[in-house]
Amino acid sequence: MSTGSTTRRHFLQASSAVGASLLLTGTRASGRVIGANDRVRMAIIGVNSRGKAHIDGFGRMKDVDLAYIVDADENVLAKTMSSVDKATGGNHNCKTETDIRKVLEDPSIDAISIATPNHWHSLMTIWGAQHGKHVYVEKPMSHDIAEGRVAVAAQEKYGVVIQHGTQRRSDAGIAGLHEALQDGRLPKVKIAYGYACKPRRGIGFKQPSTPPSNLHWDLWKGPAVIDEYHANLVPYNWHWFWPTGNGELNNQGTHQLDVARWALDPELTHPVRAMAIGGRFAWDDQGETPNTMYGIAEYPNGQYLMFNVRNWEHKNYKMEVTNEYYLEDGSLIVGEGRYKIRRPGSSEFEPLDLPRGKVTPGGNWRAFISAVKAGDPSMANGNVHDAHNACVVGHVINNSYRLGEEVPFDEKAVKFGDNADAAEHFLRLHEMLKKDGGLTHDANYTVGPWLQFDPETERFVGDHADEANVLVKDRNNTGFEVPSVENV
């Protein structure tokens, strides 16, 4: 496990900034000033999966130069150059590199785009900011709570643009609904609900082995403390191991978590308590993260965020990657971009026509480039603060699950007190797993404790605080330490 026995206090004492050759002095990095007519020179980092979309999105822009393709796998780099040729029509002078640190030292690079495994996201974002590079970073921006806060501090100190890879932030239809929920045109949200229910498969078991010669294993690991290489880590299944991934909740779910949190009162940052119940059912494999989860988080003003993960494709499985909005007057809003509302007392949904909201136009790729050219971090659709707040609620829910205990599969496995809404949504999931999944008392739930969280200090308090605060910050490998807020 990546947590070890390191507490956040130990982390703040022991972590150091990156090596002197990579650090800039002063209060703001001196990146190149980019004029409106200049071309933005970019490095795309991590290109075996989502990075291909980054190459296509940025590579097709006439005012963007793809200067570097970066990956720890030499074979991936070789294959990827054909994608660069296609995206740019062969009109490029793009180099390949395995080590991001060498790219950051190139003063001609204006921006980096990060699509690596999750455990690298924050450190690369921080390093980029320290070197005056604007950053587009895939979701989730952080692998743990503490490093996300450092990424926020880095943006604030160095003034670069940081945009989170949550494309729904570029959807003016979604923005329009949230503006109406927050300015009084619609009743206030009582529960913002998200679903990340898309089919996955079990991953079986892979024994420890020697990394392939084409993979720079130390560079792939980077900050993640991993005992041994095994083939279920590279290239994709790292998602389902805690030292490298965050499970489906902060994988696909980061999009829907961000939308759900966006719908709450805008002054809110983090929840004050959260819990999770779920399991990794049916697959009997090597993965650690749940394939089924119900999570709930309460915010200081009494609003709730609830979430449902279902990756296990049981009988009558329904793929759901969406959000729902339960309003204080009893209305329910469904849809994405084009919404329908069911009013109190009605059984029918009707169209909900709203003006489109304010976003930087052009979609997620163009919005980032526009913000970079304007030198305006506020233009990012999904800025560093939005990214951090969305990631933290997922981390807090996940941390409850990670501290959970196994109990028999039963509708009484968890108690929600007088929260009838929470009980109703959990029982809906439970009945589905029992009826369509065929689960019985022979199966077990993992039931996490209610964790109390302080939004100001971003630390756990109350019962279970000591063990929960161990999960606030992962240990890091030497040479790949995430710096403290004070040392960023």
DSSP string, 87-117: HHTT----EEES-HHHHHT-TT--EEEE-S-
Whether 348 and 340 have beta carbons less than 8 Å apart is answered as no
Choosing from 349, 383, 417, the residue where a domain stops is: 383
Say if residue 278 is in the same domain as residue 225.
yes
Residue 482 located in a structural domain: no
pLDDT at 291: 98
pLDDT at 90: 81
Say if residue 295 is in the same domain as residue 434.
yes
Can you tell me the distance from the alpha carbon of 206 to that of 224, in angstroms, rounded to the nearest whole number? 19
Distance of CA 388 to the CA centre of its chain: 9
Can you tell me the distance from the alpha carbon of 405 to that of 449, in angstroms, rounded to the nearest whole number? 8
Say if residue 207 is in the same domain as residue 283.
yes
pLDDT at 4: 37
Residue 483 located in a structural domain: no
Question: What is the per-residue pLDDT across 201-232, written as a single tens digit (0 to 9) for each?
Answer: 999 999 999 999 999 999 999 999 999 999 99
Can you tell me the distance from the alpha carbon of 116 to that of 119, in angstroms, rounded to the nearest whole number? 8
Say if residue 431 is in the same domain as residue 322.
yes
Residue 291 located in a structural domain: yes
Say if residue 76 is in the same domain as residue 219.
no
3-state secondary structure of 134: strand
Say if residue 179 is in the same domain as residue 252.
yes
331 φ, ψ (degrees, to nearest 5): -75, 155
Kindly report the number of other CB atoms within 10 A of residue 386's CB atom: 20
Residue 66 located in a structural domain: yes
Say if residue 164 is in the same domain as residue 176.
no
Q: Which residues contact 391 (CB under 8 A, 6 or more apart)?
A: 139, 140, 141, 142, 148, 250, 254, 257
Can you tell me the distance from the alpha carbon of 288 to that of 280, in angstroms, rounded to the nearest whole number? 8
Say if residue 92 is in the same domain as residue 195.
no
Say if residue 404 is in the same domain as residue 447.
yes
Residue 448 located in a structural domain: yes
DSSP string, 427-471: HHHHHHHHHTS---TTSEEEEPPPEEEETTTTEEESTTHHHHHHT
Residues of the chain under the 70 pLDDT cut: 1-31
CATH code, 95: 3.40.50.720
H or E segment and range at residue 403: none
Whether 282 and 203 have beta carbons less than 8 Å apart is answered as no
Q: Is the dihedral of CA 352, 357, 361, 365 positive or negative?
A: negative
Residue 476 located in a structural domain: no
Residue 478 located in a structural domain: no
Say if residue 236 is in the same domain as residue 269.
yes
Q: Which residues contact 289 (CB under 8 A, 6 or more apart)?
A: 239, 240, 241, 242, 245, 246, 247, 248, 280, 398
Residue 84 located in a structural domain: yes
Domain of 99, in residue numbers: 8-169+364-383
Say if residue 378 is in the same domain as residue 287.
no
Cis peptide before 235 (omega within 30 of 0): yes
Can you tell me the distance from the alpha carbon of 142 to that of 156, in angstroms, rounded to the nearest whole number? 16
CATH code, 183: 3.30.360.10
Say if residue 459 is in the same domain as residue 345.
yes
Name the β-bridge partners of 44.
69, 113
The number of domains in the chain is 2
pLDDT at 32: 74
pLDDT at 36: 72
Question: What is the per-residue pLDDT across 62-102, written as a single tens digit (0 to 9) for each?
Answer: 999 999 999 999 999 999 988 788 877 887 889 999 999 99
